[in-house]
Structure 1
Amino acid sequence: MDWRWAIKGFKNYLKLEKSLSANSIEAYGRDIEKLRQFAEAQPVTIKPNMVILANLRSFLQWVNELGMIPSSQARIMSGIKAFYKYMLIEDLISADPSELLESPKIQRKLPDTLSYDDINNLIGAIDLSKPDGARNKAMLEMLYSCGLRVSEMTELKISNLYLDIEFIKVTGKGNKERLVPISNAAIKALNFWLTDRKLNYAIKKGEEDIVFLSRRGSRLTRVFVFMLIKKLAQSIGLKKKISPHTFRHSFATHLIEGGADLRAVQEMLGHESITTTEIYTHLDRDYLKSTIIQYHPRS
C-alpha cells in the first residue's frame, strides 16, 4: 500500500464523511505526512498498513527530538489516531496500531486576553474617514461581541443575520451551525457597514451574500484580518502579541468573569466539549486568591 494513496483516501474521508473544513483537512494531511516521512526514512520503508504500536512510539520520540512542543505532538497523535480509524473502517487494516498509544501530557496554556480598555482603544484607532473604516470597525465589533473565529467571520452571510431579534447564525467547525447573540454596538456598526457596502462596493458574482468584502468585491482572507489587527495594535503601542483569536478569548473571559454560565458560553463559542471552555475559568486567579484570603476562615 502506497502512503500517498492512503493519505489521499484519508483526506477524501474527512471531507465526505466527517464534513471537515479545508483547513482542518490540510492540517490532518500534514500530520500524516510527518509519519510518512518517518516511515520512509527507515532502513526498510514501513507501509501504512504495516505500522505497529512500536513504530508509532518511535515516531513520537522522533518528533520530540526534533524539538516539537508537547501540544504539537498531541495534535499530531490525534491526527494519527483519526488516520488509523479511517484505515480500520475501510478494512485496510485488521487492527488499529494507535489504539494503545498515549499522547504526551500537556499543560493548558492560558490564552492572552485584552482588557475592555484595550478593546475600545483598538476599535477607536480605526480611521472612519477612510474607505474601509466602517467595515473594519464592524469586523472588530463582531469579533468581540460574538466571540467568532476569524474564518466564521470571513464566511458570515447576510442571509444569516437576524438583527431584528439580535442574533446571527454562524457556521463553525464541521459545518455545525449555532445562533449567537449580537450586541447593540455591533449591530450599529454592522448596519453602517452594510449601507456603505451597498452604495460603494462593486460585488463580484457569487459573493453577494458575504458580509465582509474587500475593495475588489470578494470575501476577505484570514491573513488580511490578522494584518489589520497587528497594524492597529502597533498604532496604539499595544505590546501584547494579539490576533483575531484574542478577541474570542477576551469575549469568553469577560463573560465568565462577569458571572456568565459556563454552558451558555460553551454554546456561544461553539465548543464541542465543556472542558475546552473551562480554560477560561482559570484566568481570573488574582480575584480568586484575594477572595479566599478575604473570606476563608483559615486564611
Structure 2
Amino acid sequence: MYLDDAGVAQTRRTVLTLCRTLARKAELLDLLSDAAIWQQPHLGNADWIDKALASLDRLKSKPAPLPKPDEPCGRWLPSPVAVRLAQTENLHTLTQLADFVNQHGQRWWTQIPRLGQTSAAEIQAFFAEHADVLNLHLDLTKKRPAHPSLPAVSSGIAPIERFRPPEHLSGQSGSNRAPAPRCLLDAGNDFEAILAWLSIYDTGTPTHRTYRKEIERFLLWAIFERGKAISSLTTPDCAEFRRFLEDPQPAERWIGPSAQRWSPQWKPFKGPLKPSSARQAEVILSACCDWLVGQRYLDSNPFSGLNKRGYGRRQGTDRILSPPLWDHLIDYAERQAGASALANHKPADYRRTLFILRFAYQTGLRLHELTKARLGDLERLSGYDGEQWWLNVLGKGKVHRQVPIAPRLIDDINAHLRDRQLKPIGYAAPDTPIIGKLRKRLKDAPEDQASAALLSESALYQKLKGFFEEAADDINQADPIAAEKIRRASTHWLRHTHGSHAVYKGVPLEIVRDNLGHKNIATTSIYVHSDKDSRYKAILGMTGD
C-alpha cells in the first residue's frame, strides 16, 4: 500500500496512524479482541492481514461510537491527560471538564499543571466535533484571570505576592536598619525593600523565580518561627535558619506537595533541602543582604558572620557524566531509535531524545536557553577556514553570547525538523523552536510557520529524566553504581558534562567560559580536574595498577 506522492516512511506512518484510529474505535465499542489486532500491527504478516481485514469489516458495519456528557474523560481523551485532569482539578466527566473550561475562559488550560496548549487544542476540537451530540458548548471568548483573585493574607503561610507581615514585624524600625535618611531605596519596610531587590531581575526568568523562592522562605521563617522582622535578624538567627533548612518544622506548616502559587495547598518546601540547595539558598540570601547594605537599607549583613560551613562537593564536580557514561547514553538512544520492534511512534521519540542529548551536550546551554532557541537565532558567517554556524543566545541576566555550532549538529537539526514534518534551516519560519514536539501543527497555525507545539522547560526536563531512568535500567545489571549516577542526572548535568569534557580535551578555559556564559573564569575552573587526575595517576603508578 502506497499513498500518492508519499515515500515508504510516510506511508508507514499513515498506515500506523490508521491502525491507532481503528484500535480506538474497537475499544469504544468494547471489541477488545479487535482492538488487540490493531494495537500490535504486523504489516508484513499474512495471518495478521487476514485478521485485520475481518476486523475491518466488523468495524465498518458498526456506527461510530458517540460520547455522552456523563461519561468519564478517560474514555475519550488520552489517558495521561485524563489522569492529570482528575488528579489536579478533580475533573472526571466530560460535563465537569466543559464547566471548568467555561468557568476559566480562553486560557483555561493554564490552570492545570503540565497541560500544554496543544493538548488543550485537541480537547477543544473534540468538544467542537461532538457539540451537537453532547450539547456541551465551550465559551472561549472571554479572557479570565490566570488564577482566582485571592486576598492578601498575614495570618498564615502564603506566597510573597499574597503575604503582608503584621505591622509590628514589618521592619519599619528594625534593629539592623541603617539610618533612614541615608537609605537609597523608596522603601519604608522590609517587604518593600525585598520587592525592590527582586525588581532588578526580570520577572518570569529562572533567576527571578529562584531568588523569589529563597527570600520568600526567609521572610516567612523570620515572621513565623523567630517572630522578627528581617531587618532585626542577627548572625545567630541566620545560623538557626541554616539548621531549619535541613529539617523545616513543623512539617504541616512548611512542607507539602507541588501546587500552584495561588492554590490554598501551596507550601514553601517539598521537604528538607539537600546540602547543595541549602548552600545556594545561603549564597542568594547573603547577596540580597549585601545589596540592601549597599543601598543603605541594612546596617550590616547578618550572614557575613557565619562560619564557612562545608556543604559537600561543589556542584559541577559530581554532576558530570564521564566519557564512558556519556557513550552509554548515546549508544542506548541510538539503539532505541533504530529498534523496529518498538511501537510506531517510539523510534521518532528516541531520535528526538538523541538530538536533544547531542544539542545540549555540544552547546552547553542552560535548560531555559534550550527551550528558547529558535532557527532564527542561527547565523552563518564567513570565516578564514570557510563557513561557520553560530547560535545567538540571550542568557542569564539577558546577557548575549554566541555559541559555535558544528556542521554535523546543523545536519542533526535538519533531521529533527524532518521528523517534525517541517522545512530545513533557511526555509522554515525563523521563530521555529529548534527543539519541538513530534505533533502536528495546531489547526489554526499558518502553513509556513513553526509548529505551535514547542517543548516547555518542564516537559524537556521530564523527558530527559525519563530517558535517564531507562538508560540506567539498561546498565543496572552490569554496573549498578553507574546506573545510580545516571538516575540522578538531569538536563543541567549535560551543561556540566560539556564544560568538563571541553576542558579535558584541551579547550582553553577562556573559550569554555565564553561558550557557557560565565561572568567569572573562577566559575569555569570547577571543570579543571588536572590536579586530581595527576594525583590519581600517581597513586596508580605507585601501586602498579
Query: What TM-score, normalized to structure 2?
Result: 0.46
- The question of whether the paired residues in 1 share the 8 Å contact of 2:395 and 2:401 is answered with yes
Relative to structure 2, which stretch is displaced further, 235-244 or 126-135?
Answer: 126-135
Q: Once the two structures are aligned, what percentage of the paired residues are identical?
A: 22
By how many angstroms is 1:90 displaced? 5.0
Which residue is equivalent to 2:431?
Answer: 208
Q: Distance in 2 between matches of 1:284 and 1:144?
A: 24
Which residue is equivalent to 1:57?
Answer: 239
Instruction: Give the direction of change, closer, same or farther, for the CA distance of 1:64–1:103 in structure 2 (3 Å limit).
Output: farther
Q: 1:110 aligns with which of 318, 322, 344?
A: 318
By how many angstroms is 1:290 displaced? 2.4
Matched residue pairs, number?
286
Q: Distance in 2 between matches of 1:136 and 1:142?
A: 10
By how many angstroms is 1:112 displaced? 2.9
By how many angstroms is 1:113 displaced? 0.6
By how many angstroms is 1:75 displaced? 1.5
Which residue is equivalent to 1:36?
Answer: 219
- The question of whether the paired residues in 1 share the 8 Å contact of 2:330 and 2:354 is answered with no
Whether 1:192 and 2:415 are equivalent positions in the alignment is: yes
Matches within 5 A, 1:203-242: 208-214=431-437, 215=439, 217-236=452-471, 237-238=474-475, 239=483, 240-241=486-487, 242=489
Which residue is equivalent to 2:376?
Answer: 159
Instruction: Give the direction of change, closer, same or farther, for the CA distance of 1:64–1:166 in structure 2 (3 Å limit).
Output: same
Which residue is equivalent to 1:23?
Answer: 206
- The question of whether the paired residues in 2 share the 8 Å contact of 1:112 and 1:246 is answered with yes
- The question of whether the paired residues in 2 share the 8 Å contact of 1:70 and 1:104 is answered with no
By how many angstroms is 1:124 displaced? 1.0
Q: What secondary structure is seen at the aligned counterpart in 2 of 1:162?
A: strand
Which residue is equivalent to 1:120?
Answer: 330
By how many angstroms is 1:261 displaced? 1.5
* Aligned-residue RMSD, C-alpha: 3.4
- Per-residue CA deviation, residues 159-213 of structure 1 (Å, 9 max, x unaligned), is 220245122122221111211112222111112234555638xxxxx99343223
Q: 2:509 aligns with which of 240, 253, 262?
A: 262
Structure 1: which amino acid aligns with 2:284?
A: G
Instruction: Give the direction of change, closer, same or farther, for the CA distance of 1:134–1:162 in structure 2 (3 Å limit).
Output: farther
Q: 1:84 aligns with which of 289, 306, 311?
A: 289
Instruction: Give the direction of change, closer, same or farther, for the CA distance of 1:264–1:294 in structure 2 (3 Å limit).
Output: farther
Instruction: Give the direction of change, closer, same or farther, for the CA distance of 1:191–1:8 in structure 2 (3 Å limit).
Output: same
Q: Distance in 1 between matches of 2:242 and 2:201?
A: 23
Say which one has the larger Rg.
2
Q: What secondary structure is seen at the aligned counterpart in 1 of 2:355?
A: helix
Runs of 5+ unmatched residues, structure 1: 201-205
Which residue is equivalent to 1:149?
Answer: 366
By how many angstroms is 1:142 displaced? 1.0
Which residue is equivalent to 2:44?
Answer: none
Q: Distance in 1 between matches of 2:240 and 2:470?
A: 48
Instruction: Give the direction of change, closer, same or farther, for the CA distance of 1:160–1:113 in structure 2 (3 Å limit).
Output: same
Query: What TM-score, normalized to structure 1?
Result: 0.78
